[in-house]
Amino acid sequence: MKKLIANKEIDVNEEGYLTDFSQWDKEIGKCLADECEIELSDKHWEVIDFLQDKHHKEEALSIRGIKKSGVINIKEFYALFPGGPLKKSTLIAGIPKPKSCI
C-alpha cells in the first residue's frame, strides 16, 4: 500500500512500516517521528543510524541487543521512544519491525 509522507508516495505495510528502505531519507524519518509524537534529537539519530547499520548487516534486532550495543542504555532508549521503543525506533528508521516485537 502507499502512504504520502513528506510529500512523497512511500510503500508501507499495514502497520505503516516502509517496505522499501531505498525510499527512506531523513525527511521521511522526521515525518514518521512526528506521527509518533517524537521530536528527534542527536541521540535519536545516533540510535536510528545504529539500527539501520544492524539492518544492513542483516543482524537481528532486540531489546537485549540494544542493551549490549553500548550506543544507548535501556532506560534512555525507553525515554527516547516511549510506548514501544523497538517498534517506534525501527518504524522511524525505515526498517522492518523486528521479529521480537509482537
Q: Is 31 annotated in the active site?
A: no
> What is the pLDDT, as a whole number, of residue 6?
92
Given its phi and psi angles, is residue 60 left (phi above 0), alpha (psi -120 to 50 degrees) or beta? Answer: beta
Q: What's the rounded Cα separation, in Å, for the pair 14 and 17? A: 8
How does pLDDT run along the chain (102 residues), one tens digit per residue?
999 999 999 999 999 999 999 999 999 999 999 999 999 999 999 999 999 999 999 988 888 888 888 889 999 999 999 999 999 999 999 999 988 776
> What is the pLDDT, as a whole number, of residue 56?
93
Q: How far is CA 63 from CA 23, 72, 98, in A?
A: 26, 11, 10
Choose the catalytic residue: 53, 84, 101, 102: 101
What DSSP letter does each residue of 8-22 carry, written as one string?
Answer: EEEEB-TTS-BS-GG
pTM: 0.93
> What is the pLDDT, as a whole number, of residue 62?
87
